[in-house]
């Protein structure tokens, strides 16, 4: 048995204080979330309050109106109170505001028009609730049947669910309730009222040759189907008019509103001069309520002695004041760090910020700004993440300003954005019947003096959201 003994060991550990942790968390927040975070802190900490300026106080105060103005008699004749100088078309009509319906509410409404038993209505509503926002049923029917039995206490079978799902798939929008993309497209093509040769050929392609169609093996498909190029093109056109996400077609009442961007910085450029500022329009300015500071002084008294009954309350107020001071200090430090970082980015990319031409972007990585500001790379990363700047040519994310450096034959360094622009132009102007492969694009760039590997071409192409040459092929 080993001996148990005690000994002192000296270690050097790096720990973050609560103030530093709070500063890091605030630094990551964009302007909109910072506003919410400050309001949350004001609600949780009674010592904090919003600092209202004198102008805001004057705007909030109602203007005094003399009572004599109400007592004075008006000599205006009664016939001048009303004017009948507009037609029926000019009359104001009431505006009725409706909330709209979601996809699930729309499907449940259509379910109510069917002659179903209460049991089928219950199961059908649960089945509709399992359909996602894209309009797909991505869970197997066996699991749904188990969930219905467990949560609702209703027994059902996969056969009944299959029957009800077939009914739901007849609802609008066409293609809703599908379990795969192939089934979704087939439901939409089957809902078309007309039955042209192109539609019949499109059904055959989707039913029997879906994998070849997704891989765009068009020559092989035309050979197997025995059709001409014009007939095949008409069928493909019918398919491309279908929606891969039928749930998005019903926008009468969405479940979530589209997110909007609030810029963190505002940059003005006039007469060759830049004016950079933080966007603090909706961010409340906070301060410590002096009433709580005076409360501590009253509790402590002149000699500093505190009653036993007041010690707990005094400690509570003191902790809240310290927390408020840390929070205010963290906000000020956040503002200084943001302005310090953005000023260096502006100085580094002045040519770009003058007109917004991406070809003028200099190669820049996080370490470049970290060296210029004296801050850590992780701090610069937190400043850049999810932050936007409003310029005279639009609102742009800060991440867009950073790019890798590429060296040309002449030895000059260019931004990777220049490479991406060349790739976009080449692919946009290519022959869609014979699209350019990554190897051909690599040769084009090498001829222009940019030594770049094929895998790097593929990486930039994917960053631009451009598919491979085989999937870009058209007839």
The vertex-34 CA angle with 23 and 366, nearest 5°, equals 60
Is 9 a member of any domain? no
Q: Give the pairing type, strands 286-288 and 413-415.
A: unpaired
Q: What is the mean pLDDT of residues 209-227?
A: 85
In this structure, the answer to whether residues 206 and 334 fall within a common structural domain is: no
How far is Cα of residue 359 from the mean position of the Cα atoms in its chain? 27
Residue that wins the pLDDT comparison between 26 and 101: 26
The helix/strand/coil state of 306 is coil
Alpha-carbon distance 423 to 59, whole Å?
56
Residues 441-454: tens digit of each pLDDT:
888 888 887 788 88
Q: What share of the chain is helix, strand, coil (3-state, %, to 5)?
A: 55, 10, 40
pLDDT at 23 over 80: no
In this structure, the answer to whether residues 189 and 250 fall within a common structural domain is: yes
Is 107 a member of any domain? yes
In this structure, the answer to whether residues 286 and 382 fall within a common structural domain is: yes
Helical (H) or strand (E) element with 389: strand 388-391
For residue 437, CA distances in Å to 389, 422, 434, 474 come to: 36, 14, 9, 14
Is 120 a member of any domain? yes
pLDDT at 57 over 70: no
pLDDT at 256 over 50: no
Domain count for the chain, please give it: 4
In this structure, the answer to whether residues 345 and 422 fall within a common structural domain is: no
In this structure, the answer to whether residues 320 and 414 fall within a common structural domain is: no
Residue 1 has a pLDDT of: 53
Which residues are paired to 414 by β-bridges?
Answer: 406
324 pLDDT band, cuts 50/70/90, is: confident
Q: What is the mean pLDDT of residues 181-197?
A: 87
Residues 74-112: tens digit of each pLDDT:
454 444 444 455 454 544 443 333 445 678 888 888 888
For residue 132, CA distances in Å to 127, 243, 255, 364 come to: 11, 15, 11, 41
Is 363 a member of any domain? yes
Alpha-carbon distance 320 to 310, whole Å?
15
Which residues are paired to 265 by β-bridges?
Answer: 278, 389
In this structure, the answer to whether residues 220 and 342 fall within a common structural domain is: no
pTM of this prediction exceeds 0.85: no
The helix/strand/coil state of 400 is helix
Is 72 a member of any domain? no
301 pLDDT band, cuts 50/70/90, is: low
pLDDT, the chain, mean: 79
Classify residue 268 by its DSSP letter.
Answer: E
CATH number at residue 429: 1.10.10.60
Domain boundary among the residues 207, 230, 254 is at 254
Buried (b) or exposed (e) across 294-326, using 16+ Cβ within 10 A?
Answer: ebeeebeeeeeeeeeebeeebeebeebbebbeb
Alpha-carbon distance 267 to 270, whole Å?
10
Domain boundary among the residues 382, 401, 420 is at 401
pLDDT at 59 over 60: no
Q: Which domain holds residue 249?
A: 180-254
Is 75 a member of any domain? no
Q: What is the mean pLDDT of residues 141-167?
A: 89
């Amino acid at each position: 048995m080993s001996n148990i003994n005690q000994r002192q060991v000296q270690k050097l550990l790096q720990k973050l204080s609560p103030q530093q942790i709070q500063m890091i968390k605030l630094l990551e927040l964009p302007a909109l979330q910072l506003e919410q975070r400050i309001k949350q802190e004001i609600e949780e900490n009674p010592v904090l309050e919003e600092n209202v300026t004198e102008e805001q106080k004057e705007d909030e105060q109602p203007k005094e109106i003399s009572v004599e103005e109400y007592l004075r008699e008006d000599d205006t004749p009664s016939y001048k109170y009303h004017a009948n100088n507009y037609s029926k078309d000019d009359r104001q009509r009431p505006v009725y505001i409706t909330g709209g319906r979601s996809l699930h509410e729309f499907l449940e409404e259509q379910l109510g028009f069917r002659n179903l038993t209460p049991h089928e209505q219950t199961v059908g509503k649960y089945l509709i609730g399992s359909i996602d926002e894209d309009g797909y049923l991505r869970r197997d029917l066996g699991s749904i049947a188990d969930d219905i039995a467990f949560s609702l206490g209703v027994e059902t079978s996969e056969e009944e669910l299959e029957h009800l799902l077939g009914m739901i798939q007849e609802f609008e929008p066409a293609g809703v309730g599908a379990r795969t993309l192939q089934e979704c497209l087939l439901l939409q093509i089957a809902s078309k009222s007309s039955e042209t040769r192109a539609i019949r050929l499109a059904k055959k392609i989707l039913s029997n040759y879906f994998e070849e169609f997704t891989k765009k093996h068009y020559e092989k498909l035309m050979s197997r189907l025995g059709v001409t190029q014009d007939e095949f093109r008409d069928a493909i056109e019918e398919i491309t008019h279908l929606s891969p996400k039928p749930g998005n077609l019903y926008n009468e009442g969405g479940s979530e509103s589209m997110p909007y961007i609030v810029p963190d910085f505002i940059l003005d450029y006039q007469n060759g001069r830049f004016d950079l500022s933080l966007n603090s329009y909706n961010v409340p300015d906070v301060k410590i309520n002096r009433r709580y500071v005076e409360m501590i002084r009253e509790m402590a008294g002149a000699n500093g002695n505190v009653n036993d009954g007041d010690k707990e309350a005094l400690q509570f107020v003191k902790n809240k004041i310290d927390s408020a001071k840390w929070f205010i200090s963290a906000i000020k430090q956040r503002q200084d760090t943001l302005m310090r970082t953005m000023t260096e980015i502006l100085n580094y990319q002045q040519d770009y910020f003058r007109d917004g031409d991406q070809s003028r972007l200099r190669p820049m990585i996080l370490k470049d700004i970290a060296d210029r500001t004296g801050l850590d790379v992780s701090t610069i990363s937190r400043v850049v993440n999810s932050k936007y700047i409003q310029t005279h040519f639009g609102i742009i994310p800060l991440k867009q300003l950073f790019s890798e450096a590429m060296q040309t034959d002449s030895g000059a360094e260019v931004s990777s954005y220049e490479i991406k622009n060349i790739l976009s132009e080449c692919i946009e102007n290519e022959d869609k019947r014979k699209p350019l492969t990554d190897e051909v694009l690599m040769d084009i760039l090498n001829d222009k003096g940019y030594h770049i590997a094929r895998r790097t071409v593929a990486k930039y192409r994917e960053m631009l959201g451009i598919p491979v040459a085989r999937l870009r092929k058209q007839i």
